[in-house]
């Protein structure tokens, strides 16, 4: 088929929370765009029931609505502090209707290949068989959809699921269940198993800090903003948060958990109000990492064994871009080498929005990334001095996105950012284009 020329248009890949933020920013800055979405509606990971959505029936946000919502479009006052996946999906679609984005989205169409031309444009082959030449690409395909499984000796003959495949507690009912992984999904599913399974084990590689969703009657993440706004140093923030956790949660060892092997705030936060409750009631048994699988059970690092019927691996996701050569993203073996996880070092027309794991909500960050991206594109088109200034920044600077925190070296933290310092950095860059 012939090549369809759309070089005055930017192609946005994905109509999830990041894709629609990118579309809104491009639209506000007068940049023509088209969003390509393989599903039949907006929602991305929050669209429950589609093949690549990892949310389960009981999923609620782990960040509060005020620490998640788009700045230019707050969530409804009627929403609870922690909305359900249904409410979040409805919110994303309402956002798209409000900013008139639907007319720019091509649904039921997948991106199959993205190739750079000699002239620096992008040829994109779609699942409809057509190839389009776009002026730029904004990748918003998400990073919580390609399940990552651990490797253990032995073989288990029972039911094996990844948390991305888990949807309802039916698979847990009256079974002996092992959940592997202490991420937020792992803890949520462990709590659900405690209410439905005959026996629940929870295996983790190390001791972690567990943060309740509420502190002093307010969402914990809003309380955490107070020392950030006051500009308190890291040691003082750790001391304050540690004191709060000692008051609200207590010594984790009383629940059978191990003492954390890292400083507070050095791992992605685990936000869960109920897991210690069910551990305290004997409904969840904490276990260390697995050393070997058997046909009907597992052996753990401490030498103990357990017979189980179901294993659910809540072990995270691979960072995957199946449609583009990793060389175009400057892949360093762990992650793409992008300035603030957004801007290509050399190309001025390739971006990733939402390629972050923040210690807060994400929608507002995707909105800020998108605003900076769109202003940079506009400045490039007009040859504004700010464009050259930012080119130098994105090609040379390698800032600490941890805001001074040294995160535990694990795949879980490849995309981790500290939200407050990240926000301040983007605000400074936005002033270049004012």
Q: What is the pLDDT of residues 175-193, one digit of tens each?
A: 999 999 989 999 999 999 9
**Residue 2, pLDDT score:** 78
Mean pLDDT of 245-261: 89
**Residue 383, pLDDT score:** 95
Q: C-alpha 239: how far from its chain's center?
A: 27
Mean pLDDT of 159-182: 97
Q: Which residue is it, tokens 């199946």?
A: 322
Q: How far is Cα 102 from Cα 108, in angstroms, rounded to an integer?
A: 13
Q: Which residue is it, tokens 């904490």?
A: 286
Mean pLDDT of 135-151: 95
- For residue 159, count CB atoms less than 10 angstroms from its CB and return exposed for 0-12, middle for 13-18, buried for 19 or more: middle
**Residue 297, pLDDT score:** 97
Closest Cα to residue 100, out of 47, 28, 16, 6?
28
Residues 338, 344, 350, 354: what is their CA dihedral angle, to the nearest 10 degrees?
Answer: 20
User: Above 90 in pLDDT, residue 434?
Assistant: no
- Cβ atoms of 238 and 216 closer than 8 Å: no
Mean pLDDT of 23-47: 98
Q: Give CA separation, 54 vs 134, 269, 282, in Å.
A: 30, 19, 28
Q: How far is Cα 3 from Cα 133, in angstroms, rounded to an integer?
A: 7
Q: How many other C-beta atoms lie within 10 A of the C-beta of residue 40?
A: 10
Q: How far is Cα 197 from Cα 283, in angstroms, rounded to an integer?
A: 9
Over residues 48-63, the pLDDT tens digits come to 999 999 999 999 999 9
DSSP string, 338-352: EETTTEESS-SSEEE
Tokens of 376: 């940079």
Tokens of 100: 């008139």
Q: What are residue 199's DSSP bridge partners?
A: 176
What's the sign of the alpha-carbon dihedral 388, 390, 391, 395?
positive
Options 3.30.300.30, 3.30.1370.60, 3.50.50.60, 1.10.10.10; CATH of 3-146+317-433: 3.50.50.60
More confident: 262 or 43: 43
Over residues 206-251, the pLDDT tens digits come to 899 999 999 999 999 999 999 999 999 999 999 999 999 999 899 8
Lowest-pLDDT range of 117-131, 133-147, 252-266, 410-424: 252-266
**Residue 333, pLDDT score:** 82
Over residues 384-401, the pLDDT tens digits come to 999 999 999 999 999 999
Mean pLDDT of 281-304: 97
Q: C-alpha 132: how far from its chain's center?
A: 29
CATH topology of domain 149-212+249-312: FAD/NAD(P)-binding domain (3.50.50)
Q: How far is Cα 352 from Cα 402, in angstroms, rounded to an integer?
A: 19
Would the CATH topology of 3-146+317-433 be identical to that of 149-212+249-312? yes
Lowest-pLDDT range of 157-161, 214-218, 411-415: 411-415
**Residue 412, pLDDT score:** 85
Q: Where are the domains of the chain?
A: 3-146+317-433, 149-212+249-312
Residue 361: band (very low, low, confident or very high) from pLDDT cuts 50, 70, 90: very high
Q: How far is Cα 363 from Cα 219, in angstroms, rounded to an integer?
A: 17
Is residue 6 within a helix (H) or strand (E), and if so which, with residue range? strand 3-13
- Cβ atoms of 146 and 140 closer than 8 Å: no
**Residue 269, pLDDT score:** 83
- Cβ atoms of 107 and 19 closer than 8 Å: no
The one-character DSSP state at 259 is: P
Residue 332: band (very low, low, confident or very high) from pLDDT cuts 50, 70, 90: confident
Closest Cα to residue 312, out of 145, 146, 188?
188
Residues 210, 214, 220, 222: what is their CA dihedral angle, to the nearest 10 degrees?
Answer: 170
- Cβ atoms of 415 and 48 closer than 8 Å: no
Q: How many other C-beta atoms lie within 10 A of the C-beta of residue 223?
A: 17
Average pLDDT of the chain to the nearest whole number: 95
User: Above 70 in pLDDT, residue 1?
Assistant: no
Residue 334: band (very low, low, confident or very high) from pLDDT cuts 50, 70, 90: confident
Q: Give CA separation, 402 vs 169, 184, 212, 413, in Å.
A: 36, 20, 22, 10
Instruction: Tell me if residue 214 falls in helix, strand or coil.
Output: strand
Mean pLDDT of 186-206: 96
Q: Which residue is it, tokens 């639209």?
A: 27
Length of the chain: 434
Q: C-alpha 404: how far from its chain's center?
A: 21
Residue 13: band (very low, low, confident or very high) from pLDDT cuts 50, 70, 90: very high
User: Above 80 in pLDDT, residue 376?
Assistant: yes
**Residue 157, pLDDT score:** 97
């Amino acid at each position: 088929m012939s090549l369809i020329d759309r070089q005055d248009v930017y192609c946005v890949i994905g109509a999830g929370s990041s894709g629609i933020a990118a579309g809104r920013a491009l639209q506000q800055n007068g940049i023509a765009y088209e969003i390509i979405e393989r599903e039949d509606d907006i929602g991305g990971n929050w669209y429950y029931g589609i093949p690549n959505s990892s949310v389960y029936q009981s999923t609620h946000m782990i960040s509060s609505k005020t620490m998640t919502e788009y700045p230019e479009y707050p969530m409804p006052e009627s929403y609870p502090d922690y909305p359900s996946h249904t409410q979040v999906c409805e919110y994303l679609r309402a956002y798209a209707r409000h900013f008139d984005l639907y007319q720019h989205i091509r649904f039921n169409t997948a991106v199959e290949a993205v190739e750079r031309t000699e002239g620096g444009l992008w040829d994109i082959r779609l699942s409809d068989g057509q190839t389009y030449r776009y002026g730029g690409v904004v990748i918003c395909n998400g990073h919580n959809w390609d399940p990552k499984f651990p490797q253990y000796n032995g073989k288990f003959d029972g039911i094996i699921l990844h948390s991305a495949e888990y949807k309802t507690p039916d698979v847990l009912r009256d079974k002996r269940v092992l959940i592997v992984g202490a991420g937020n999904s792992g803890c949520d599913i462990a709590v659900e198993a405690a209410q439905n399974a005959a026996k629940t084990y929870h295996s983790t590689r190390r001791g972690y800090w567990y943060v309740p969703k509420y502190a002093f009657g307010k969402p914990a993440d809003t309380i955490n903003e107070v020392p950030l706004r006051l500009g308190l140093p890291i040691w003082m923030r750790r001391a304050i948060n540690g004191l709060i956790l000692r008051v609200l949660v207590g010594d984790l060892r009383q629940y059978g958990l191990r003492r954390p092997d890292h400083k507070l705030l050095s791992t992605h936060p685990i936000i869960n109000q109920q897991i210690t409750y069910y551990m305290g009631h004997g409904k969840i048994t904490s276990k260390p990492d697995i050393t070997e699988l058997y046909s009907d059970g597992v052996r753990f690092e401490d030498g103990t064994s357990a017979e189980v019927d179901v294993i659910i691996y809540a072990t995270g996701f691979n960072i995957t871009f199946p449609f583009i050569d990793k060389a175009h993203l400057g892949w360093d073996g762990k992650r793409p080498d992008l300035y603030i996880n957004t801007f290509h070092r050399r190309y001025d027309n390739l971006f990733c929005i939402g390629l972050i794991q923040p210690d807060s909500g994400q929608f507002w960050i995707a909105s800020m990334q998108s605003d900076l991206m769109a202003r940079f594109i506009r400045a490039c088109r007009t040859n504004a001095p700010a464009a050259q200034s930012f080119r130098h920044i994105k090609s040379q600077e390698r800032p600490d996105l941890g805001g001074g925190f040294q995160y535990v070296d694990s795949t879980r933290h490849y995309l981790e950012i500290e939200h407050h310092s990240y926000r301040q950095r983007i605000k400074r860059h936005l002033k270049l284009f004012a």
